[in-house]
Structure 1
């Protein structure tokens, strides 16, 4: 019996070692992938529990400046209304960590939710470096090219509005409160126009600079030059956790009315996310957003679309609705003209049909299986006209309103 007991104890000890990512005779981990996965679970629990010491125990003690950056990141996270927070290895079965590795990089998937603001989980991917010291794994820093999150870009100031949450890096609190006030005003304006089952809350990120905005969005330092704000996730998926990202340099050039229009426009994209799909043409999504924003600002066509007004006055009446590419690569005044054309298409629908028909058209287009099956069928089902007739009426409307 003593021999049997010894065998059982040895088997149990072996099982425990495997479950813990155990060690061989030389102290080397037998399963580095499992050990790193466990490290990420510890890191996630520390964030959820608000345990700074436990969080820092997951960071390489020899990482120097990165360790201090992680202390700041943790304190940023601790100030957020987190309802969920989980870090996992991304597809570890296909990309296991070599058992003998002392340093490695791995793709990590973050899933989190902001209480009171997100109706579903937000997700983000990062590529991190890990290092093993004395048979224990640590996070050593981001791998080159890894996209940072807002809490990674220095101390955050968190401002809670009535309908908004503003996260700003490197900005005075008073400035962020001004943004929150405009976002608070935008949310009920958008809800009145759109309705629908959305969170009726908006999260606004204000990075320290245009270059920092580019880092957050995985772009170059000048990619958003002249763009006052964007909404993450647009036309990619139906995420219930979009963020409005403000370009502080372009935003600062606007007056109060311009800032209000920008934040209302972007809030529309947050509200309509669940009903926007790749089938939704940009002229409809951008036009609807501008219609809501300009309606609340009471702008007439010449004030709201001066570039298009000049083109029409010069005899350059557009022949077709703007294509998707016109909103990004038109060059010169073409991008501004495209936005004006889209806005006035939406405005015409609200004027000559009803605002409810405009909302119904938007929803119908988003339900289509493809772009080809969206615009024409949606126009016929919701407005009773085909694309050709709609375009002719729109051109006449432009002439009447701008000519």
Structure 2
């Protein structure tokens, strides 16, 4: 499923075929707390001075990690919180080992005070500050961009990094996968898979390679024609880590198998597939293959950027995935036809607001979207479906796209789809 409005590929597919980030502090320690006179933000001058010193520390940490200089990295880490040592080693291990072409952290905003308990541990002049992380893997044409929170303390007059988990309560901004726990990278040409602890990297790479092959075999023209097959798939260690990476509230994506999202705020941001391991581990191999194929259609078409209606975005992805793996379509087909027998065919193509991750009938909505795309491919051709989608992706209205590419109006297309469903469900 596309992540353009923080939707995830839900268990419409999953059922048919079958937040706390790691290490977060307690809720009390994550609350902003009252501003005290001991805050480093008592004046604009002191805030600017603190930020400047902290940015120097961050720059040195990045330089040391990329150079593999553990000693220089450790020299920038405060010892005031003994528990932070393990967290610092984790970050060093990830950043020094990942195949990074780019890594940059830039502090933004003013220093913010910590809670009383954290200031008692780190010192009254300790503070937290948000930073923008920009990182690009080898072979990627664009960088990911996310926000993290860093904690700084003054130790014998020197500013040092003292924590990374003092974000404000309720924070749900996307985080880098390497921020959540130990991460390994496996690569094969244009493909990269990042896996959290316990995930089989080589197996996920093989699955990704197979899914890319299926997508490139079935989407040859239209909006996907320029895709080279390059892809990055992230498989966090747990559902909680998955929710942290996609920026979802704890529990809100419990049944979501995977999401394809733009990891950044610009139209050129890198697109990556993020897998929910708690869901995919319950699936058969066919189920996992179907999930990855669906998501890589989104990657191939850059669907998070698309103005096409969601039924076309998700329906095309399911059409390709179910065509590649027909056995996976049985559950969706059965669900939809039973609905048609009991209540008649849907009156209209599913509206965008029916694709929210919290919708109880989301599996049915996906089945309707898939069937609409299947109807177009069956009645006209798979190439006709690609042409229709490409026109919608170019910003055409459904009526214009249907008339230009299929020779029928939007109304006639919808009527034909409804009658086609009724014939299948006598």
User: TM-score surpassing 0.5?
Assistant: yes
Counterpart position of 2:233: 204
Written as runs of structure 1 = structure 2, the 5 A alignment for 1:4-403 is 31-90=49-108, 95=110, 102-116=125-139, 118-142=140-164, 143-145=166-168, 148-161=175-188, 164-171=191-198, 173=200, 176-194=201-219, 195-233=224-262, 238-273=267-302, 276-277=304-305, 279-299=307-327, 302-328=330-356, 331-332=359-360, 334-368=361-395, 374-403=397-426
Alpha-carbon offset, residue 160 of structure 1 = 2.9
Q: Please tell me whether the aligned partners of residues 260 and 274 of structure 2 are also in contact (alpha carbons under 8 angstroms).
A: yes
Structure-2 separation of matches of 1:236 and 1:282: 20
Structure-1 separation of matches of 2:390 and 2:347: 26
Could you say which structure has the larger radius of gyration?
1
Alpha-carbon offset, residue 112 of structure 1 = 1.1
Q: Secondary structure at the match of 2:262?
A: coil
Q: Please tell me whether the aligned partners of residues 252 and 358 of structure 2 are also in contact (alpha carbons under 8 angstroms).
A: no
Counterpart position of 1:6: none
Higher relative contact order (CA 8 A, sep 6+): 2
C-alpha spacing 1:351/1:283, structure 2 compared with 1 (3 Å): same
Alpha-carbon offset, residue 329 of structure 1 = 5.8
- Superposed CA RMSD in Å reads 2.8
Counterpart position of 2:26: none
Structure-2 separation of matches of 1:126 and 1:330: 27
Runs of 4+ aligned structure 1 residues displaced above 6 Å come to none
Q: Secondary structure at the match of 2:305?
A: coil
Structure-2 separation of matches of 1:306 and 1:262: 19
Q: Please tell me whether the aligned partners of residues 157 and 168 of structure 1 are also in contact (alpha carbons under 8 angstroms).
A: yes
Alpha-carbon offset, residue 162 of structure 1 = 5.8
TM-score scaled by length of structure 2: 0.76
Q: Unaligned stretches of 5+ in structure 2? A: 1-45, 114-123
Alpha-carbon offset, residue 97 of structure 1 = 8.1
- Aligned residue pairs: how many? 362
Cα deviation per residue 1:164-217 (whole Å; 9 max; x = unaligned)?
A: 3222223153xx332222111011211233343235132222222222222222
C-alpha spacing 1:48/1:317, structure 2 compared with 1 (3 Å): same
Cα deviation per residue 1:109-166 (whole Å; 9 max; x = unaligned)?
A: 11111112x2211111112222222332222212224654322333223333465322
Structure-1 separation of matches of 2:59 and 2:422: 62
Alpha-carbon offset, residue 218 of structure 1 = 2.5
Q: Please tell me whether the aligned partners of residues 287 and 328 of structure 2 are also in contact (alpha carbons under 8 angstroms).
A: no
Q: Please tell me whether the aligned partners of residues 262 and 271 of structure 2 are also in contact (alpha carbons under 8 angstroms).
A: yes
TM-score scaled by length of structure 1: 0.80
C-alpha spacing 1:67/1:235, structure 2 compared with 1 (3 Å): closer
Task: Say which is worse superposed, 209-218 or 228-237, in terms of deviation.
Answer: 228-237
